[in-house]
Amino acid sequence: MLIGLDLSPAFPFLDHGAYFPGWHATPDDGPALWALVDRLAADDPHLSATSFIAHSEARRHFRQMGDCGDLFGTGRGRLRQCEAVQKEMGLSPYSSFNLVGAAQVGKSSLTGMRVLHRLCGAVPVWPFDPLPASGPVIVEIYTSLAARAAGIRAGRSKMRDGAALDAALAALGCRPHAPLARYNDHATDALLSTAWLRAVAENPALWQPSGLTDEIARTEGWTFGCI
């Protein structure tokens, strides 16, 4: 079972040699990062992470509404190595330290880290963990990659009707979908991404991207499909 999560499982590390340079508690790898986020947000309901980003050291790295930390950086903020590859592929990634605007992925990523902490040791997360011989594995996805594979032009990847979804599914070799009670871009993204994962899961090149090193696999992770 291949499980795609549309979030960042870790923050940038390689650019400064740390997730949170200057903070004595900065973790050394992905699982330790998940544990830190979960510990500092332990009292937050629904696996949110408000307490984490309010921490005096953590908040310095985030751009929040009305509060841009002094270590956030410039422009879109710090990027992981796979996000630099995404830019080369013509995609438009934002830093996972960004918590503002429609394109931000930071909030879902923080909640995702709390989820991954609970799954640690039970469900492998690629590439932090090696691929199992069988059973489930979690990968990070970027839904625009699925849309691109289905022939949808950049800027038009959000589908909100059944006809557009069926056309995209057909491009990936899938039969028409069972009608949904309600159409929105979240539901159609999920269906199209699932079809794409099924179509490309056996492609060895996607599991061995040239830019993925052991250090990146341990600290930053990688977006499945970025090569």
Averages of pLDDT over runs of 10 residues in the chain (227 residues) are 97 98 97 98 97 98 95 94 96 95 91 98 97 96 94 78 95 95 93 97 96 98 97
pLDDT of residue 35: 98
Residue in 80, 108, 107 with CA at minimum distance from that of residue 93: 80
Residue in 83, 201, 84, 82 with CA at minimum distance from that of residue 149: 201
- One-letter amino acid at 227 equals I
pTM of the model as a whole:
0.94
Task: Name residue, tokens 């990688």.
Answer: 222
Give the number of C-alpha atoms closer than 13 A to the C-alpha of residue 85, restricted to the C-beta side. Answer: 17
Residue 3: which H helix or E strand, with range?
strand 2-5
Dihedral through CA 100, CA 51, CA 190, CA 31, nearest 10? 120
Task: Name residue, tokens 């909640």.
Answer: 111
pLDDT of residue 155: 65
What CA–CA distance (Å, rounded) separates 209 from 220? 14
Residue in 131, 139, 120, 93 with CA at minimum distance from that of residue 33: 120
pLDDT of residue 90: 92
> How do the domains of the chain map onto residue ranges?
2-219
Q: Where are the alpha helices (DSSP H) in 69-150?
A: 81-88, 106-119, 143-149
What CA–CA distance (Å, rounded) separates 202 from 197? 9
Residue in 86, 89, 87, 110 with CA at minimum distance from that of residue 98: 110
